[in-house]
Amino acid sequence: MNQPPSVPEHVDAVVVGAGFSGLYMLYRLRQLGLSAKVIEAADDVGGTWYWNRYPGARCDIPTTDYTFSFDPELEKEWTWSEKYATQPEILDYLRFVADRHGLRSDIEFSTAVTAARWDEQDKRWELSTSGGARISCRFYIMATGCLSMPKQPDIEGADRFAGPVYFTSRWPHEGVDFTGQRVAVIGTGSSGIQSIPLIARQASALTVFQRTPNFSIPARNGPAPADRLERIAQDRDAYRHDARWSRGGVPIEPTDVLGGTASPEVRRERFEAAWEQGELFGILNVFADQGVNPATNELVAEMIREKIRSTVTDPATAEALCPKDHYFGTKRPCLDTGYFETYNLPHVRLVDLRRQPIVSITEDGIETADESFAFDAIVYATGFDAMTGALVAVDVTGRDGTSLEAKWAGRPSTYLGLMTTGFPNFFMLTGPGSPSVLSNMAVSIEQHVDWVAGCLKDLRDQGLETIEPTAVAEAGWNQHVQDCAAITLHPTANSWYMGANVPGKPRFFLPYIGGVDAYRQACDDVAAQGYLGFRLAGPGGERCQDGVIRSMQPDVAMVLEFMASLGLPPMESLSAEDARAFMAAAAETRPPGPAVGEITDGVIPLPAADLPYRLYRPAGPAEEPRPLVVYFHGGGWVLGNLDSDDPLCRDLCARTGAVVVSVNYRHAPEDRFPAAAEDAFAAVQWAGANAIELGGIPGQLAVAGWSAGANVAAVACQLARDAGGPAISGQLLICPVVDSDMTRPSYTENGDGYILTTPLMRWFWDYYADPADRTDPRLAPLRGNLDGLPSAAIVTADFDPLRDDGLAYARALTEAGVPVRLIRARGHTHTSVTMVDVVISSAPVRAEMAAALSAFFPATEPVT
Ligand code: N01
């Protein structure tokens, strides 16, 4: 073995990998005038397209889109021959790009980087290569691809087979002739599904070992689609721009058709159109909610299963090929050419490993629980250690002597999928936490390379040498990546997106699912904000503007964007009447909330006024008494009624199993302070006195409310204590108003843009109460006597002007000795916590509210 030379070669940047990303990175580094070297393990360029040469290998994004856009001349000179080009053609393309830009001279082939160590003294990376060389560089850039580290066979006896063994991901360059052979293929992901029909053409007998059936649609390959070619020809720049600002990196119009509300005809029509089109983003866009709503997802899934059943003639084989254990799209769907038809051939057999698992690979074949099979060759199409495998394969040691592998042992952690704390000047192209594999890789690669190149230029221009994310920024981004995934069905699947295909790998959703467009915006925002969340240092000084680039829940952001797009006048510019009419119209269009056992309306007869109420009884025997919750709706003492908070009341009822009585108290301006407060207390007294008639358990009475409803609920608790009853078990205060002091920071930080605004709060106050009354504890319960109040659960939302009201009340109650459970609605607004079945990310917050309510009644079990 070569001894490492004592003096390392010095360059500005080393790029590992000469695939799509490495080639473009080199091009941009040269443009910046930086010295750069690419280290590539293969003996040619191509990356994934160099290695994956199995029969039938193609891309699954139309090649018109799966292409570089940085060089318009390149686009003129290269024409793709097919809609989905084959692996040899894509490899030729990458060779063409490398030659056209003279990139090869800076690429060292047949060499791997084996170790990389950050030298804190010199602020440089020192790399060791398989050839024994040492290279010192300022910037170390991994362009190693997301699906480049083959998963090792995890099957008993895998090394025992005496015949030839092939991996789709490391296919022999000279090809394989299976003519007349008995062949086994293990694995039915994209690689298996693409290669099986072609292997079947040669093999005398082909046996496919399937552990999980996969969704696949016909690719309908052929000439590049004429409409797309025309759009590109007409205005290439506009087309590429649209791709960059699309959700997936291919310009398509996202549908707003929901599966549940579309007619059967529309459903069928949309599905068949996507089926005919044969494109990944088409079949993922049949319905707007198929990625988040199980019922809608099942509509698409079942239509695909119907296609499988109508294609495969043997019903048992067809059924075994129908995916049923994961939602459509949560594992990468495949595009195929004659895959399901292949099972109609007499020499092709499917072995369902769920029914007869592999016991062992043997010397001459495969033994399952039921049978022994003899084979001449075995093909493994068993996938990759995706997204992290290639990164941790190199022994990368960061600033504190920590290895990347050790840092990521619990889970991969990145800022923007580009960098990771503790590893200065170390960039990952399309790393975990970026859209990467969920997008058109060509678009995502260019975006990453452009961002890194822009960053390196900014560093140089500002006399800075190092860049590294902060722990705060990185944790915030990791959280955002998981928040985006959590509102989808993706985390439910045992997919390689989740790291679930590799035994022992931590289970985390690896790519960023918020969209190429949203992601690009986040990266641009980070740079525009002086590299928010990065620590930068060098002769030009040291600076760090720490922070989190996205802390709002993604579906909350979507709702706000939608609201902004409507261009509505501010609520406070309307009359109370018009504002009520608007609220009523908005309530018409939202989902109803969960079903409950029974809903009845009634009237509470009070001396001052009859108050309408709505009673929600949970499912179960009507005669069985339940805890009782008196609920007060939100609306600033001006708006709201029994309908306005109906979904929330259903949700609380269904989750807690309590009887919920929602009371419509009197409103301003018709009835100003203290009408609402007095009504609330009177309603609680009435409920306490009529608990049995209402189906409640005497002595198990809680109050709850949202916003101004939480205000009157809190006031009712104080009045009940002063009056010596009724006994209240607990108070659930959701984003409460507790004080008239509007100088707390949240009124400024969150004063505008989150539906409830500071001006709107003023409008509410002015309608409800004279300034002279606003320190009265029946209006500002924070100013009241807090001793001896019932236990409280207080919900505060991060993006709520009232956030600090809730926090102040929680603090004050605690100081007064009242048990308080603080529920932080992370990333939420004042309204989003109540948006049942609209804002999916608010469901866990409501689950916590329900748990807190249930805990007020120790004898009852929460309904799960
Ligand atoms: O790998 P996979 P792939 N015993 O992980 C099975 C991209 N790609 O190479 O699902 C038995 O998807 C495993 O079963 P299960 C594309 O993004 C794109 O096919 O884990 N079976 C599964 O069926 C794709 O998603 C293109 O239960 C075992 C299969 O092997 C990604 O690469 C083409 C097993 C692996 O499927 C990976 O695709 C090719 C075991 N021990 C790839 N271990 C296109 O552009 C694993 N399996 C079209």
3-state SS, one letter per residue, for 406-450: HHCCCCCCCECCCECCCCCCEEECCCECECHHHCCHHHHHHHHHH
What pLDDT, on the 0 to 100 scale, is given for residue 864? 46
Residue for token digits 């998963």?
151
Four-residue CA torsion sign, 154, 156, 160, 161: negative
| CB atoms inside a 10 Å sphere around CB 536 | 22
Q: Ligand 1 centre from 334 Cα, in Å? A: 10
Q: Ligand 1 centre from 386 Cα, in Å? A: 10
Tell me the residue type at 180. G
The answer to whether residues 391 and 111 touch, using CB atoms and an 8 Å cutoff, is no
What pLDDT, on the 0 to 100 scale, is given for residue 153? 86
Which residues lie closer than 8 Å to 418 by C-beta, 6 or more apart?
Answer: 427, 428, 431, 434, 448, 451, 452, 523
829-to-518, 650, 706, 710, 800 alpha-carbon distances in Å:
20, 21, 13, 16, 5
In whole angstroms, give the CA distance from residue 225 to residue 643.
Answer: 50
CA 475 to chain centre: 15
The answer to whether residues 732 and 798 touch, using CB atoms and an 8 Å cutoff, is no
In whole angstroms, give the CA distance from residue 760 to residue 567.
Answer: 17
Point out the ligand 1 atom lying closest to the alpha carbon of residue 168: 9
Point out the ligand 1 atom lying closest to the alpha carbon of residue 153: 41
Atom 46 of ligand 1: nearest residue by CA position:
382
Q: Ligand 1 centre from 187 Cα, in Å? A: 6
Tell me the residue type at 184. A
Tell me the residue type at 176. V
Q: Ligand 1 centre from 384 Cα, in Å? A: 7
The answer to whether residues 141 and 113 touch, using CB atoms and an 8 Å cutoff, is no
379-to-151, 286, 579, 629 alpha-carbon distances in Å:
13, 34, 67, 63
Atom 39 of ligand 1: nearest residue by CA position:
191
Angle of helix 675-689 versus helix 708-723 axis, rounded to 10: 60
Q: Is the peptide bond before 251 cis (omega within 30 degrees of 0)?
A: no
| CB atoms inside a 10 Å sphere around CB 470 | 19
| CB atoms inside a 10 Å sphere around CB 407 | 19
What pLDDT, on the 0 to 100 scale, is given for residue 306? 98
Three-class DSSP category at 626: strand
The answer to whether residues 694 and 799 touch, using CB atoms and an 8 Å cutoff, is no
Q: Ligand 1 centre from 546 Cα, in Å? A: 40
Which string of b and e fits 754-775 if b means at least 16 CB within 10 Å? Answer: bbbbbebbebbbebbbeeeebe
Tokens of 546: 């720490």
pTM: 0.95
Point out the ligand 1 atom lying closest to the alpha carbon of residue 59: 45
In whole angstroms, give the CA distance from residue 695 to residue 659.
Answer: 7
Q: Ligand 1 centre from 380 Cα, in Å? A: 9
| CB atoms inside a 10 Å sphere around CB 181 | 18
In whole angstroms, give the CA distance from residue 510 to residue 499.
Answer: 7
Q: Ligand 1 centre from 68 Cα, in Å? A: 26
Which string of b and e fits 779-806 if b means at least 16 CB within 10 Å? Answer: bbbbbbebeebbbbbbbbbbbbbbbbbb
Atom 20 of ligand 1: nearest residue by CA position:
501
Q: Ligand 1 centre from 212 Cα, in Å? A: 10
In whole angstroms, give the CA distance from residue 745 to residue 414.
Answer: 31
Nearest residue to 76 (alpha-carbon basis) of 85, 89, 88, 67: 67
Q: Ligand 1 centre from 176 Cα, in Å? A: 20
Residue for token digits 């990458």?
94
What element of type H or E holds 231?
A: helix 226-234
The answer to whether residues 663 and 630 touch, using CB atoms and an 8 Å cutoff, is yes
Atom 16 of ligand 1: nearest residue by CA position:
190
Ligand 1 pocket: which residues have CB below 6 Å? 58-60, 147, 154-155, 168, 186-192, 194, 209, 211-212, 332, 335, 353, 381-384, 437, 496, 501
Atom 37 of ligand 1: nearest residue by CA position:
383
In whole angstroms, give the CA distance from residue 863 to residue 861.
Answer: 6
| Residue 711 DSSP one-character state | H
Atom 18 of ligand 1: nearest residue by CA position:
190
What element of type H or E holds 854?
A: helix 843-855
Q: Ligand 1 centre from 39 Cα, in Å? A: 27
Atom 24 of ligand 1: nearest residue by CA position:
190
Point out the ligand 1 atom lying closest to the alpha carbon of residue 335: 48
In whole angstroms, give the CA distance from residue 442 to residue 450.
Answer: 12
In whole angstroms, give the CA distance from residue 301 to residue 295.
Answer: 10
CA contacts within 13 A on the Cβ side of 781: 29
Atom 36 of ligand 1: nearest residue by CA position:
189
Pocket test for ligand 1, best of 167, 208, 382, 385 (most atoms within 8 A of CB): 382
Give pLDDT < 70 ranges for the chain: 1-6, 859-864
Q: Is the peptide bond before 698 cis (omega within 30 degrees of 0)?
A: no
Q: Is the peptide bond before 618 cis (omega within 30 degrees of 0)?
A: no
In whole angstroms, give the CA distance from residue 656 to residue 664.
Answer: 21
The answer to whether residues 343 and 312 touch, using CB atoms and an 8 Å cutoff, is yes
Tokens of 756: 């409830």
Tokens of 301: 């899934």
The answer to whether residues 217 and 283 touch, using CB atoms and an 8 Å cutoff, is yes
Point out the ligand 1 atom lying closest to the alpha carbon of residue 155: 41
Tokens of 742: 């509007």
Q: Ligand 1 centre from 38 Cα, in Å? A: 29
Pocket test for ligand 1, best of 52, 154, 191 (most atoms within 8 A of CB): 191
Atom 9 of ligand 1: nearest residue by CA position:
383
| Residue 672 DSSP one-character state | -
Point out the ligand 1 atom lying closest to the alpha carbon of residue 188: 23
Q: Ligand 1 centre from 151 Cα, in Å? A: 10
**Across the chain, how many H-helices and E-strands are there?**
26, 29
Q: Ligand 1 centre from 186 Cα, in Å? A: 9
Four-residue CA torsion sign, 485, 489, 492, 498: negative
What pLDDT, on the 0 to 100 scale, is given for residue 8? 85
Atom 6 of ligand 1: nearest residue by CA position:
187
Point out the ligand 1 atom lying closest to the alpha carbon of residue 57: 33
Q: Ligand 1 centre from 383 Cα, in Å? A: 4
